[in-house]
Structure 1
Amino acid sequence: MDLNSKIYVAGHRGLVGSAIVRNLQSKGYKNIICKTHKELDLTNQQAVREFFENERPEYVFLAAAKVGGINANNTYPADFIYINLMIQNNVIKAAHDFNVKKLLFLGSTCIYPKMAPQPIKEEYLLTGALEETNEAYAIAKISGLEMCKFFKRQYGDNFISCMPTNLYGPNDNFDLKSSHVLPALIRKFHEAKVNKNDTVEVWGTGTPLREFLYVDDMADACVFLMENYDGEQHVNIGTGEEVSIKELAETVKEVIGFEGELVFNTDMPDGTPRKLTTVEKLHGLGWNHKISLREGIELAYNWFLENYK
């Protein structure tokens, strides 16, 4: 990419897409195309094809997706598989048909097998059963990764994929019914502090181990891969560091300044027991994360205070 390349960021209002736009702008890229859902429904094949035909983007970051936490995935599996399949099928096929120079598709480490050996290497994809609460989303995103691989193999399209770990930061979803664990904890502890509550409920046992990456680090890795990687296999994006949900909750509690107690609701599901990625491939290419977990939580909480209503 050069600074005047025409770059389409699909899903620019979301957690991931907005971070990619910020990163591109910070590096001096001037020709970034963004469309809201109202302007362009990516599940509408004809609309997507007309957009690509008229705009002719040279590079595409496919960050648009329907995402959510355990509860949302469990409650709306048909929506998760249908919407995500439609978005990625339409965009990837249009990128092929209208000669996009390069496309980056974003998967998620939650689509690896539930009991994958730890830490998770890229080649562990499709080697075991999926996490049941996440199966519909995972099947859709796996299809997207494989689609990029097969378009590269059959047609020579420069379509690459990455696998970010758990992300958080500006423009996150703080809706307690559909959010992921870290933004949910930020909101819960903030409201408990404001309301002077004695306790905060944390879903599950607190024992699962998770890896978290600040979204601006993830965006920097995505732009790095777009500029430096052309391989068929997807690339993990993470920190290579893990923390238990209990330790995470205690860190959020400290950052926010809540002085009450944690109560673990063991009737709620834990999900996958452990999920840590191997990031040797990304490190070998020359990229490392910069923002620590505690620093990232502080940044995310400050954004929440300034922006969330």
Structure 2
Amino acid sequence: MANLEAKIFVAGHRGMVGSAIVRRLKSLGYSNIVTRTRSELELLNQKAVQDFFQSKKFDEVYLAAAKVGGIHANNTYPAEFIYENMMIEANIIHAAHQNEVQKLLFLGSSCIYPKFAPQPMNENALLTGQLEATNEPYAIAKIAGIKLCESYNRQYDRDYRSVMPTNLYGPGDNFHPENSHVIPALLRRFHEAVNSRVKEVVIWGSGKPMREFLHVDDMAAASVHVMNLDKSIYDTHTEPMLSHINVGTGVDCTIRELAETVAKVTGFQGELKFDASKPDGTPRKLLDVSRLASLGWNASISLEEGLAQTYRWFLEHQEIFRK
């Protein structure tokens, strides 16, 4: 049973995932949620994090804080991506342990799996092959977070769990023209095309690669669900030294289908042109979510519904993306 009085720290509450987790917790009636901005608590500062945990005595921690970005950002800032993510994870997980926090949920990424892992990707695929080169530093940092959780569980009998989401989107996403992921990038591009009355939108690649997308509110719901699973039930569904669980829809679509849906949502009626001279990336990237389904959770927000909601959010907040 969930303890609605539990003192919970949500690290990264201003990010897309962290803010969704806070919304989810509040909607369920949790009344003791603690958050801190970066100016209030620098998560890269080990002493600051230790002092914070020592003074607050948390019951649960959601570790959603991370440095994230698309291919361009990962290629441009690999040092920052591996350093900042590893430091945040190490500081928070270790501080949680030292201050007797028994329950923690670490949010990772599906990029932890090998580039050519069998599809759909099962949790057992971890560390069975070479990673995608463009985001290898980020992936290694996330793998380190999983192994930190597993190690504290193994040595100290902690209850630190990890969830690996597929490609996320939704309110609070990054719509930067260069550093954003595919959905916010397409939503912005089609929006600008409609406003400029452009008759054609060019999309990189052939449009044939397949991707899976999960609305961030579904991700938040899954995170709280996994955190609240009874430890005995969780353990029976988790193999030794395998503490992570995939979170996704179990359904993918081609980039062409995604673009066509974005065009519909934004009202773009022009032509879609795919530039096959540009790289496609991995042909397919789909998670096997059968483990999570066996634990009682499935996604509920369809792609078109989620895209429409995200586009409405963008329209309401577009002033902050015009810089």
Match of 1:102 in 2: 103
Q: Distance in 2 between matches of 1:21 and 1:203?
A: 35
Q: CA deviation at 1:110?
A: 1.6
Q: CA deviation at 1:198?
A: 1.8
Q: CA deviation at 1:269?
A: 3.3
Q: After TM superposition, which residue ranges in structure 1, 4 or more long, deviate above 4 angstroms?
A: none
Question: Which moves more between the two structures, 221-230 or 109-118?
Answer: 221-230
TM-score by length of 1: 0.98
Question: Which moves more between the two structures, 257-266 or 9-18?
Answer: 257-266
Q: CA deviation at 1:157?
A: 1.0
Deviations 1:108-161 (A, max 9, x none): 112210000000101101100000111010010000011101110111111010
Q: CA deviation at 1:195?
A: 1.0
Gaps of 5+ in 1: none
RMSD between aligned alpha carbons? 1.1
Match of 1:275 in 2: 285
Deviations 1:272-294 (A, max 9, x none): 22110111111101111111111
What's the % identity of the aligned pairs? 59
Q: Distance in 2 between matches of 1:267 and 1:93?
A: 47
Match of 1:139 in 2: 140
Gaps of 5+ in 2: 236-241
Q: CA deviation at 1:197?
A: 1.1
Say whether the 8 Å CA contact 1:110–1:138 is kept in structure 2: yes
Deviations 1:24-53 (A, max 9, x none): 000000000010111111111111111101
Q: Distance in 2 between matches of 1:263 and 1:47?
A: 51
Q: CA deviation at 1:270?
A: 2.5
Q: Distance in 2 between matches of 1:112 and 1:37?
A: 30
Q: Secondary structure at the match of 1:53?
A: helix
Match of 1:33 in 2: 34
Residue 268 and residue 136 in structure 1: after superposition, are their counterparts in 2 closer, same or farther (change >3 A)? farther
Q: Secondary structure at the match of 2:273?
A: strand
Say whether the 8 Å CA contact 2:149–2:243 is kept in structure 1: no
Q: Distance in 2 between matches of 1:285 and 1:52?
A: 31
TM-score by length of 2: 0.93
User: How do residues 238-253 of structure 1 correspond to structure 2 at under 5 angstroms?
Assistant: 238-253=248-263
Say whether the 8 Å CA contact 1:133–1:271 is kept in structure 2: no
Say whether the 8 Å CA contact 1:113–1:125 is kept in structure 2: yes
Say whether the 8 Å CA contact 1:66–1:84 is kept in structure 2: yes
The reply to whether residue 214 of structure 1 matches residue 224 of structure 2 is no
Q: Secondary structure at the match of 1:308?
A: helix
Say whether the 8 Å CA contact 1:70–1:271 is kept in structure 2: no
Q: CA deviation at 1:200?
A: 1.7
Question: Which moves more between the two structures, 249-258 or 200-209?
Answer: 200-209
Say whether the 8 Å CA contact 1:122–1:233 is kept in structure 2: no
Q: CA deviation at 1:265?
A: 3.5
Number of aligned positions between the proteins: 309
Match of 2:238 in 1: none
Say whether the 8 Å CA contact 2:163–2:245 is kept in structure 1: yes
Q: Secondary structure at the match of 1:28?
A: coil
Q: CA deviation at 1:267?
A: 4.7
Question: Which moves more between the two structures, 93-102 or 225-234?
Answer: 225-234
Q: CA deviation at 1:229?
A: 5.3
Question: Which moves more between the two structures, 265-274 or 291-300?
Answer: 265-274
Match of 1:82 in 2: 83
User: How do residues 1-309 of structure 1 correspond to structure 2 at under 5 angstroms?
Assistant: 1-228=2-229, 230=231, 231=235, 232-309=242-319
Question: Which moves more between the two structures, 238-247 or 264-273?
Answer: 264-273
Q: Secondary structure at the match of 2:106?
A: strand
